[in-house]
Structure 1
Amino acid sequence: MTKSPRLALIIATAVSLVPLGCAVLPEDMAEETLGADQQAAIMGNGLTFNGLTFNGLTFNGLAMAELSDPLGRQLLSAIVSCALPEGEAIDLNIEGVDYSFEGSVGLAPEWGKDGGECGENCKSWVSACVISRVNYLGQSVRISVRGKDKALASTSEEREEYTEREGAYFGDIFATPQELYACVAPGASQIPRVCGPSIQGCSPIEVLGDCDDVCSKELNDGASDKCRDPSGKMQKGAVTVFLAS
């Protein structure tokens, strides 16, 4: 497992999780060593298992908070998991306690490189990935996450097992205020995993309607590609969730 003190500092600064003085990096940390048409991943609590993911991020976990707060660490864990590939991590010492935040999906590996930044493409994909992990009850549920990025490559077995298209997620978790959007699968009216009993009470995520109306097209694996936010901007990073049938 590699360590990236630089990325830890960048993330803490970029998302305003905590004042710079509160995240203490060990002095003896080594120099940074971090190194599609049918695409998907299965994720879980920040860990990816053969493309399948468990989701369990609560609405409160999306809020920006200090890293001394468990909710701040929950969000940071989700961000790192979505951004960095498996086998890479950032280690932080927060108020005397050591934490390791592990990569998993690898949607923005460039962020962990020396001098790496999280540009528009990085923000779009990482945001979509993090938003897709929200669970109304905070429960861990296996989901198949798909989108037009090579990090989300799926297998035929996964597509055969996870056939229930739920909806797509996109936005910008780094913006102030955060921009959190979803659309429902054609023919569906609710997304209970994320919104609970009604999409009317899904705040802070805004449900924009049918994905066929919001997104540009459907990919071969059923994922929605490039979805439009309320301002009219097309978000390149759009993550579609499928549930097991």
Structure 2
Amino acid sequence: MRNRIVLAISFLGLVSVCLPACINEADPVEEDSETAAQAVFTRNAFTNNALTASALTTDRLATGALTGNPLTSAAIASSSDVMSALRDPLAREFLTYVAGCALPAGQSVEVSLDGETHVFEGDVGLSPQWGRARGHCNARCQGWVSACMLARVNHLGESLPISMRGQNKALDADPAERESFPHREGAYFGDLFAPEQLRFACRSPGATLIRRVCGGAGVDTQDCVVDVLGGCDAHCGAPASDGSFRNCAGGGHKMPTTVTIYRQ
């Protein structure tokens, strides 16, 4: 079983060529919804600024070029729009999390920019097809990557261990991990690639651990970078056997690409 601890570098928000409603379109998927929810150790330090103010968030041409082509060194180097956006440090931070969420460990994207080489490492592998020849990031891919990125936001830009769980084969947990991370924080879902980002979260019933993302006491979420809808029991389908939520609804869309976070 995959059971690794990694350090996630801060990064930012995205945009996409698919409208939010497309997130439910039928296409080949890599996850197995019949299996138990799975998990992976990871860390989080994605900052609010990186989520909302990246050049890859504001430049629709760059976003379209990123999601419409393979997530590979050659494809990125061949796109003047993406390369121009990556001169923004927040965009490079953003791409760090995109690659980390989408690509598996051992795969990376290397970009040479103004005489400096930047390497964006794979980690979780939620959408490995994006990194293959002729790959692209379809609606399902965008949903998984978005949920993973939202789950790694930290209000203070600090890194602490979390367990990511969801209905995707890349999220593989064993009993030891579940025992080490027993406290359910909440679930994250949305579409960071949409013209207007969808950024949703819900709390595990009775939990205030979501202050990791929102700051404060975790109860007052009015100014949170994500839209905290309330309790996950009211906005998601029944949880899987390990307690992870799926099919959460927000903004008029039901999103099966949901990541549930557990804490130590």
- Give the TM-score band, short-chain normalised: 0.7 to 0.9
* Structure 1 residue 226: Cα displacement: 1.2
- Within the candidate set 199, 208, 212, 2:229 is matched to 208
Deviations 1:181-200 (A, max 9, x none): 10000112561100001312
* Structure 2 partner of 1:221: 242
* Structure 1 partner of 2:40: 41
* Structure 2 partner of 1:58: 47
Between the aligned partners of 1:221 and 1:119, the Cα distance in structure 2 is: 28
Between the aligned partners of 2:47 and 2:131, the Cα distance in structure 1 is: 26
* Structure 1 residue 38: Cα displacement: 3.2
Do the aligned partners of 2:190 and 2:199 also contact (CA within 8 Å) in 1? yes
* Structure 1 residue 80: Cα displacement: 0.5
Higher strand share: 1
Between the aligned partners of 1:117 and 1:155, the Cα distance in structure 2 is: 31
Do the aligned partners of 1:191 and 1:199 also contact (CA within 8 Å) in 2? no
Cα RMSD after superposing both structures: 1.4
* Structure 1 residue 224: Cα displacement: 0.4
1:84-99 counterparts in 2 under 5 A? 84-99=103-118
Deviations 1:160-210 (A, max 9, x none): 0101100000000101111111000011256110000131220x3101110
Q: TM-score, normalised by structure 2?
A: 0.73
* Structure 2 partner of 1:237: 257
Structure 1 residue ranges without an equivalent (≥5): 1-13, 17-35, 43-52
**Residue 176 of structure 1 pairs with residue 195 of structure 2:** yes
Q: TM-score, normalised by structure 1?
A: 0.79
Aligned residue pairs: how many? Answer: 200
Identity over aligned pairs, percent: 44
* Structure 1 residue 236: Cα displacement: 1.3
Deviations 1:128-177 (A, max 9, x none): 00000000100000000100111001010000010110000000010111
Deviations 1:85-126 (A, max 9, x none): 000011101222101101000000011111111111101101
Do the aligned partners of 1:190 and 1:199 also contact (CA within 8 Å) in 2? no
* Structure 2 partner of 1:149: 168
Do the aligned partners of 2:186 and 2:210 also contact (CA within 8 Å) in 1? yes
Between the aligned partners of 1:61 and 1:176, the Cα distance in structure 2 is: 16
* Structure 1 partner of 2:221: 199
**Residue 137 of structure 1 pairs with residue 126 of structure 2:** no
* Structure 1 residue 15: Cα displacement: 4.0
Which residue identity does 2:261 align to in structure 1?
V
Between the aligned partners of 2:234 and 2:131, the Cα distance in structure 1 is: 35
Deviations 1:3-23 (A, max 9, x none): xxxxxxxxxxx847xxxxxxx
Aligned with 1:126: secondary structure?
A: helix
- Within the candidate set 204, 210, 234, 1:185 is matched to 204
Structure having greater relative contact order (Cα 8 Å, sep ≥ 6): 2
